[in-house]
Structure 1
């Protein structure tokens, strides 16, 4: 048997919680760290259908990228979908852990995985961690790196579309503009455009951005590529399941199969 504590310790070494943003809610959010674990499910967001899948497939630990209980909660009852879900998970002894922005910024986290997918060179954080020890190891939020050679923005967009198997992507900027240095900030992270520009990036790849952030990018002269919040992060949840399976071969580790992007495009 593998204890929940042992898996959590591995996750905290893989994505130190000190890397998380101050506003975040990370760590063990539900459950007993002393319980034995036989099956782990990873997902991007823990929703009622994903929770039902975990119960059906007898997972007893869920590693969800997006935290549950993110906002202050005064009541947990069956009168809300979240309350009913949490009570159901507790009734089935299913623990819930979220690394969220710690996973975004980890040495092998989501932003670094984007760098590797795009074959970026000389990668570094867009913003070093406030934790001096972590900053001393070159860790922090976002990433920037150099493409193997300069290419038009439209070519980079085509490369990402093929990578994500999508037909369309939103972007800000001139499609014929030459790019060589790329900023990465998964999720809803257009606020890193300033840091990206300071590092000489011609484009920032992120999940989503508000309208006014897009206007700001145009005024600043930095391009944005918006790959969708789901598209920017879900692949790493699948990868995390593989990593956990390799680390703990005696238990079953898998990514949710019912989870899907809530946004559709005709």
Structure 2
């Protein structure tokens, strides 16, 4: 069996989460590394922190697939004067490549938001907003491809918003209690999901007729808007709304490329603690 290269994994990930789906402000694709390099060990994570970088070096990873890109914004220099620079310097020294699909993976047909719709058993699932990509094929109506930002659909049976939010937290084995905004005892059938920092989807979800929007985190003003619109809002925490998908992605990469050793970071944890 032929050796697997960094590029082979990049191409596979781009099939699952086409980079044209990424938001215009995002930084996606191969961010660090040599496409031609042969690899054996791949680590997935939600965020590439110093602890995750140390794990990658210690465990001799060749490629890190991170959800949140690093660097996210352009860097005028790479040195150890900043946390980002220190992480990149260490990874470059160890010849560890870095790939991120970020918002492309959020929006993909088999991405994070679609995974949430399936976990909740939603029916008639649609994106909350259309793809931002300018490529007409991204929104080809004949494809029935379910591409776009966020997801919403119908529960099999109505349930109080509070119960649905708790169910979401349990599905990903969240260690932190979720929070809620608005009419939490209201029975809901149409539920939306926007992973990560999804508060900006409040107005769009309301226009889609959602009675509940579940996300990772939202600003105070997004919470006020949801409340004013009479729509419930569930906050799972950014980490818990997305980390499970990177664990699943590790399994999927390993199944597609069985010569690789692939694992989700064991050093990563939610930085927000209950006190």
Q: Which TM bucket (shorter chain)?
A: over 0.9
What is aligned with 1:171? 180
Partner of 1:141: 149
1:46-73 Cα deviation digits (max 9, x unpaired): 0111001001111100000000011231
Task: Pick from 58, 76, 80 the counterpart of residue 78 of structure 1.
Answer: 80
CA distance in 1, matches of 2:117, 2:272: 25
Residues 126-157 of structure 1, C-alpha deviation per residue, up to 9 Å, x if partnerless? 11114321211331111001100111112212
Contact 1:189 1:208 in 2 (8 A): yes
Q: Does 1:9 align with 2:11?
A: yes
Greater Cα offset, 81-90 or 166-175: 166-175
Kindly state the Cα deviation for residue 229 of structure 1 after the two structures are TM-superposed: 0.3
C-alpha change, 1:211 and 1:102, in structure 2 (3 Å) is: same
Where 1:186 maps in the other structure, the secondary structure is strand
Q: Which one of the candidate residues 237, 241, 244 is aligned to 1:235?
A: 244
Aligned to 1:259: 268
- Are the equivalent residues in 1 in contact too, given 2:41–2:261 (CA < 8 A)? yes
- SS state at 1:22 partner: coil
Matches of 1:91 and 1:168 in 2, distance apart?
A: 40
Q: TM-score, normalised by structure 1?
A: 0.97
**Could you tell me how far apart the structure 1 residues matched to 2:60 and 2:238 are?**
28
**Runs in 1 of length 4+ with deviation above 6 angstroms?**
none
- Which residue of 1 is the match for residue 128 of structure 2? 126
| Structure 1 range deviating more: 191-200 or 115-124 | 191-200
Distance in 1 between residues matched to 2:169 and 2:268, nearest whole Å = 21
Q: How does 1:91-130 map to 2 (within 5 A)?
A: 91-130=93-132
Partner of 2:55: 53
Partners of 2:270 and 2:251 lie apart in 1 by: 21
Q: Which stretch of structure 1 is more off in the superposition, 191-200 or 13-22? A: 191-200
TM-score w.r.t. the length of structure 2 is 0.94
2:211 and 2:14 map into 1 onto residues whose CA distance is 33
Please tell me whether the aligned partners of residues 181 and 201 of structure 1 are also in contact (alpha carbons under 8 angstroms): yes
Residue segments in structure 2 that go unaligned for 5+ positions in a row: none
Unaligned runs of 5+ in 1: none
Matched residue pairs, number?
266
CA RMSD of aligned residues (A): 1.1
- 2: CA distance between counterparts of 1:221 and 1:129? 27
